[in-house]
Amino acid sequence: MSKPRKPKGRPVSGWLILDKPVDFGSTEAVSKIKWLFNAQKAGHAGTLDPLASGMLPIALGDATKTVPYVMDGRKIYEFTVTWGEERSTDDLEGEVTQSSEARPTEEAIRALLPKYTGVISQVPPQFSAIKIAGERAYDLARDGEAVEIPSREVEVFRLTLIKCETDRAWFEVECGKGTYVRSLARDFGRELGCYGHISELRRSFVAPFAEETMVPLAELVALEKIEDRDERLAALDAFLIDTGEALSGLPHIVITEDQAHRLRMGNPILLRGRNAPVSEADAFATAGGKLVAIGEIGEGEFRPRRVFT
């Protein structure tokens, strides 16, 4: 029997909150960060279009186990809508499909915003990662197929008009998982009778990571000039955020090292004490300040689903 392959790279773990530049794809960004950190595993929490900039949380190593919890978090985007044209991709990248000489007034735009706040029904763009009969919508769109994408409910917590000019308007939106800002621009334009598309898009927040935690890609790439490998990797690792920070919105229990050992073996532990949680679908446990496991609490037990070394 052949020996299992040894993983390439370091078993480094943590979150890197990248400030992704424009014209750089999310998958390309993950590959670059994985290479820079010489990491065994890497993944991101929520795609940013190539024409969008801003926060792209990238998980390395064990942090990839916490990606779903970041994917579910609130997000804040700043975006510009240019009026007069609807495009196939709902942003600058696509071909013009509809045009109009009409332009909306600031009053008309402001009157529209309450309709797009709260739980709303939204049709994702034709060029999106939504799966249609097992295939990505953007692959079908590139092949020239016009597909019917079903609408779905998303939540918009806050939608603000920042500035308005004749041909453009600037907005900020705080929204939940699955919201397409490109769809907002498209739908604004249709309802205002002037058409519209995204001409600038920047993500400034992905819960629970603050804007000031973002690191520009150029700052990381600049460290390549450090010739000493250990020194270079140490400089890069200084930008990493602890894996457990991704779970700050979940209930937290502190356990002993003996309990941690049991959890790492896949066994449940008993929770005692007056303040012990009774029932939680998702919670995390730490020992000595280190993340040990994510699991559920029920019937006086913490049952691990994901464990961390």
Look at phi and psi of residue 41 and say left if phi exceeds 0, alpha if psi is from -120 to 50, else beta.
beta
Rounded to whole angstroms, the Cα distance separating 124 from 91 reads: 13
**Catalytic residue chosen out of the listed positions 19, 49, 90, 91:** 49
- Would you tell me the crossing angle of helices 229-237 and 26-37 to the nearest 10 degrees? 130
Rounded to whole angstroms, the Cα distance separating 140 from 178 reads: 20
> Residue 273 has what DSSP assignment?
S
Q: What angle do CA 11, 17, 20 make, to 5 degrees?
A: 115
**Other C-beta atoms within 10 Å of 92: how many?**
14
Catalytic site residue 49? yes
Q: CB under 8 Å to 174, separation ≥6 — which residues?
A: 74, 75, 76, 156, 157, 158, 159, 205
3-state class (DSSP) for residue 56: strand
| β-pair partners for 16 | 58
Within 13 Å of residue 274, how many CA atoms lie on the same side as its CB? 0
Q: Are 124 and 152 in contact (CB under 8 A)?
A: yes
Active-site residue set: 49
